[in-house]
Amino acid sequence: MPIVSTPVSAVRNVRPWGGEAVDIVVDGDTITALSPAGSHPVTTGEIDGRGLLALPGFVNAHAHVDKSWWGLPWQSYGGEGGTEGRIRHERARRDELGIPSVPITARVLARSVETGTTALRTHVDVDPGLGLRGIEVVREAAAAYEGAVTVTVVAFPQDGVLRRPGVMERLAQAAHAGAEHIGGLDPATIDRDPVGQIDAILALAAETGAGVDIHLHDPAELGAFQIELILERTERLGLAGRVNIAHGFAVAQLDAVRRRDLLQRMGALDVSMTTVAPLRLPQLPLHELDEAGVRFGFGTDGIRDLWSPYGTGDLLGIAWQYARSSSLVRDEDLHRVMEIATGASAGFAGLPAARLAVGDRADIVLIDAENPMDALVRMPRREVVVGGGRLLAG
């Protein structure tokens, strides 16, 4: 059923990015004016912002909203560790738990929206056992928001691409059916054929017009070698601006010169990166990514699923974890993290970048905080969430 949401005509008396108080005027799903607070004529559908901090909606650039058991009885962690162990455990139990399902996915989306997320890129499992059912589930759950929340799909081969017969056919089917991106997974260590997997995935993207978003957990030089293969195919196939590397732990594990050269080539080909800010691993380097022009986004990864019981769907918590783990303390760096967590990453969901300016999509989050830095370090609750010009929470 559609989510009941109210069209918003104006968000009064708010401080975009902690600046002077203004009235944000909205027409449909677009910001049409920013007027001094109190100067806009009174209309129906207004929100009293009470002087709160206003930010663009949060962007979750790497989620798995189809995998969660949110709302089911507590599921104890079981099975073996490591990528292979978690894959086996998930395959053994997902049917028993009825995963994926529309009600569970709807709960995950609702929690994400409550915490300020208005746009997501979600990886959705596609394999011979599931077919495209997971994508259908996610599309149905997202459709309830009637466009107020933006959800884009990566058809994701969680069990490998080449080692399981029929997976490439399912990925092609998903791409032809409208999946915005196709994924890959650790070409060297899962398929044990990095050239074969990367060639297959990027060739399919070139054929169908889909983007590419590859999970790459492999470390150091093994990971860097696969990134180089991806870059070579990106250039050869004309896929600049359409390829993302998720996780990319290797980048943070290389020596400074090797990392600089790799990032510069990524920037030149507009190959982006996303991180879930993993604990106990070096974080991707904020300044070096920016200097090389590599677009960068944050994601929640799995949210209370058979891989891990952790996860709340709160993207601000991931931004906090990244900043804290990276030892970022200066205002300009904390501010930059908040830009990345919000409108600067809108492209990962197929939207134009947004800064709460005239012409931007009306995705607006109000927080009781002095400024973006204060919001990041304290993570206060989101008081109001507006998506696509409609009141979604608060």
* pLDDT above 70 coverage of the chain, percent: 100
Average pLDDT rounded to a whole number, residues 214-232: 98
List the Cα angle 106/179/91 in 5-degree steps: 60
Residues 161-213 pLDDT 10s: 999 999 999 999 999 999 999 999 999 999 999 999 999 999 999 999 999 99
pLDDT at residue 223 above 90? yes
Q: Is the dihedral of CA 186, 189, 195, 197 positive or negative?
A: negative
Residues 36-88 pLDDT 10s: 998 888 888 999 999 999 999 999 999 999 999 999 999 999 999 989 999 99
- B/e letters for 212-244, b = 16+ CB within 10 Å, e = fewer, are bbbbbbbeeeebbebbebbbebbeebebeebbb
Residues 323-338 pLDDT 10s: 999 999 999 999 999 9
Query: Which superfamily does 58-349 belong to?
Result: Metal-dependent hydrolases (3.20.20.140)
Q: Are 6 and 391 in contact (CB under 8 A)?
A: yes
Q: Looking up tokens 């600046």, which residue turns up?
A: 19
Average pLDDT rounded to a whole number, residues 223-244: 98
Question: Which residues make up the CATH 3.20.20.140 domain(s) of the chain?
Answer: 58-349
Q: How far, in Å, are 182, 193, 327, 356 from residue 243 at the CA level? A: 10, 19, 29, 27
Residues 101-160 pLDDT 10s: 999 999 999 999 999 999 999 999 999 999 999 999 999 999 999 999 999 999 999 999
Q: Are 388 and 361 in contact (CB under 8 A)?
A: yes
Tell me, what's the pLDDT at 4? Answer: 72
- Token pair recorded at residue 165: 């017969």
Concatenate the DSSP letters of all residues of 145-212 into one string: TTTSSEEEEEEE-TT-SSSSTTHHHHHHHHHHTT-SEEEEE-TTTTSS-HHHHHHHHHHHHHHH--EE
CA distance 202 to 36: 49
Mean pLDDT of the chain: 96
Tell me, what's the pLDDT at 43? Answer: 83
Query: What SS3 class is residue 245?
Result: strand
End-to-end CA distance of the chain: 20
Q: How confident is the model at residue 1 (pLDDT cuts 50, 70, 90)?
A: low
Average pLDDT rounded to a whole number, residues 9-21: 98
Average pLDDT rounded to a whole number, residues 370-384: 98
pLDDT at residue 373 above 90? yes
Question: Which residues make up the CATH 2.30.40.10 domain(s) of the chain?
Answer: 6-56+356-393
Which one is the CATH code of 6-56+356-393: 2.40.160.10, 3.10.20.30, 2.120.10.70, 2.30.40.10? 2.30.40.10
Residues 86-106 pLDDT 10s: 999 999 999 999 999 999 999
Average pLDDT rounded to a whole number, residues 375-390: 98
- Token pair recorded at residue 2: 């559609």
Tell me, what's the pLDDT at 144? Answer: 97
- B/e letters for 347-384, b = 16+ CB within 10 Å, e = fewer, are bbbebebbebeeebbbbbbbbebebbbebbeeeeebbb
Q: At what angle do helices 194-208 and 167-176 cross, to 10 degrees?
A: 20
Average pLDDT rounded to a whole number, residues 351-372: 98
